Amino acid sequence: MATIKLEIVTPEAKAYSDDVDVVTLTGIDGEMGIYPQHMPLMTQLVAGEIHARKGAENIFLAVGDGFVQVTGEKISILTDMAVRAENIDEAKAEEARQRAEARLAGKLSDEELASVSASLAHSLVQIKVKRRTTK
Amino acid sequence: MPSTRDIRRRIKSVKNTAQITKAMQMVAAAKMRKAQQAALVGRPYADLMNAMLAEAGPRIASFEHPLMQNREVKKRAIIVVSSDRGLCGGLNGNLFREIGKLDKGNTTVFITAGRKASQFIARTKRQLAAEFTYKDTPTFGEARAISKFAQDLFLKNEADAVDILYTKFVSTLVQQPKTVPFLPVGKIQAVTAGVNAPEQELKSAGVRTDTFEFESDEETVLGELLPHSLNFQMHQILLEAKASEQSARMVAMKNATDNAKQLIKDLTLEYNKLRQANITKELLEITTAQMAVG
């Protein structure tokens, strides 16, 4: 069976790179599944979950906002965060979420607000992905 | 004339200082390597971003992106990237001298990253629009906050141009203050990663660009890509400034250690001279006393 190369990079690291059978991700217009030989496509990635299947193995990742570029044989994803589900520390993410929410409740300047709400979104996504995969 | 005890005390205190500066030198060296490393891991990201920008470039030109708008420059914003702490030689001093050259009074506002810069701006009573901090290993989030603020300022017409003033890492021994234009985006350029990375060409992924399909529509996707590449550029600048700071600190601390060692050497020499003189004096006293008695 044909495979497609999935590559996820963040500014801090190359988070994932492997040949997979199918990838499901959340684009700006909703969830989509990408199989090998998909037509060239560029879209925005919405913070959420990426699911990749490789043979019998299921891979889940929590990702932040970003961009997706699909060519026939490769899916490239640019995002500001990507964490494998098994690497997510739920307690830590939960703690981060509470900290961010507590800060949001207080008074914040615009620039602080932007960074806090971004980190809040990150921890929310991580918690969501972790809960789903451990069920 | 100091007593031997005074000199001994001084030697001890200089030795302590040397120990501390030596430790700081080691720490700075390790952190510098880390910052350079962090800039390098951004390389795959830069490559991919370039591939996407290559698709975007010709298309973005066909519609006017608000961040590319060229206006008459009435008000300029300057992002100053400095260190948080001192003890890094002339690094911040050189940077702030540049500010003096760039500052045009009322028409210039400053955005600072790093505590030293905000202190300087406040002390010299210049206009401060916002101050940001960044950690020893700057994260993308911190860079995004700064870049976002600058973009907002530009889009709200509160600044007609934004420049970044930071310390460029030339080599471990040489760091140079440098001003780079940030906004408006004149030409879409390739982003680079890594300290002193060579300029890169925009290369497309090797697929004919007109075959790409866009979801939702190309204007939105490409429109979003541009600010994102600016955020990334900001991140790389923070990393480079950090590498400069750490190497400047390393060199400053090495000089301090060398000076302290020299001082210890001189003081020890003086101490021994004084000690010998004292012994000779005592011997003389004993012999004279004996001669007087006998």
pLDDT digits (tens, 9 = 90+) for A26-55: 888 888 888 888 888 888 888 888 888 888
Average pLDDT over every residue of A84-95: 79
Q: Which residue has the higher pLDDT, A70 or A85?
A: A70
Q: Which of B144, B203, B234 to mutate to test the interface with A (most CBs of A within 10 A)?
A: B144
Classify domain B27-250 at the CATH topology level.
Pyruvate Kinase; Chain: A, domain 1 (3.40.1380)
What's the topology of domain B4-25+255-293? Answer: Helix Hairpins (1.10.287)
Q: In this predicted structure, what is the pLDDT of residue B199? A: 57
Q: What is the mean pLDDT of residues A97-113?
A: 75
- Confidence bin at B252 (pLDDT 50/70/90): very high
Contact A22, A90 (CB under 8 A): no
The 3-state secondary structure of B131-198 reads EECCCCCCCHHHHHHHHHHHHHHHHCCCCCEEEEEEEEECCCCCEEEEEEEEECCCCCCCCCCCCCCC
Contact B108, B76 (CB under 8 A): yes
Q: What is the pLDDT of residue B291?
A: 92
Q: What mean pLDDT is predicted for residues B144-150?
A: 88
Closest CA to B236 of B88, B81, B93, B97: B81
Residues paired with B130 in a beta bridge: B111
Render pLDDT for B6-42 as a digit per residue (tens, 0 to 9).
Answer: 999 999 999 999 999 999 999 999 988 888 888 778 7
Taking each continuous run of H as one helix and of E as one strand, the counts in chain A are 2, 10
- pLDDT of B59 over the 70 cut: no
Average pLDDT score, chain A: 82
Torsion angle of alpha carbons B55, B58, B63, B64, nearest 10°?
A: 100
Show Cβ contacts of residue B234 under 8 Å, excluding neighbours closer than 6 positions: B143, B144, B146, B147, B164, B182
DSSP track, B186-231: -S------STTPPP------SS-GGG-EEES-HHHHHHHHHHHHHH
Structural domain boundaries in chain B: 4-25+255-293, 27-250
- The model's confidence at residue B89, banded by pLDDT at 50, 70 and 90, is confident
Q: Is A11 on the interface with B (CB under 8 A)?
A: yes
pTM of the model: 0.80
What three-state secondary structure class fits A72? coil
Regarding predicted confidence, which is higher, B281 or A125?
A: B281
Specify the pLDDT at position A135.
60
Tokens of A8: 């996820």
Residue B180 pLDDT class (50, 70, 90 cuts): confident
Chain A environment of B220 (Cβ under 8 Å): 28, 44
Q: What value does the mean pLDDT take over residues B79-90?
A: 89
* Candidates A42, A74, A118; nearest CB to B212: A42
Which of A91-100, B82-91, B177-186 has maximum average pLDDT?
A: B82-91
Other C-beta atoms lying within 10 Å of the C-beta of residue A35: 12
| Cis bond upstream, residue B184 (ω within 30) | yes
Active site residue B241: no
Residue B256 has pLDDT above 90, yes or no: yes
Instruction: For residue A73, give both structure tokens.
Output: 């044989």
Measured from the Cβ of residue B5, the count of other Cβ atoms closer than 10 Å reads: 9
Pick the closest to residue A35 from A24, A45, A26 (CA basis): A24
pLDDT at B278: 93
Residue A7 at interface with chain B, using a CB cutoff of 8 Å? yes
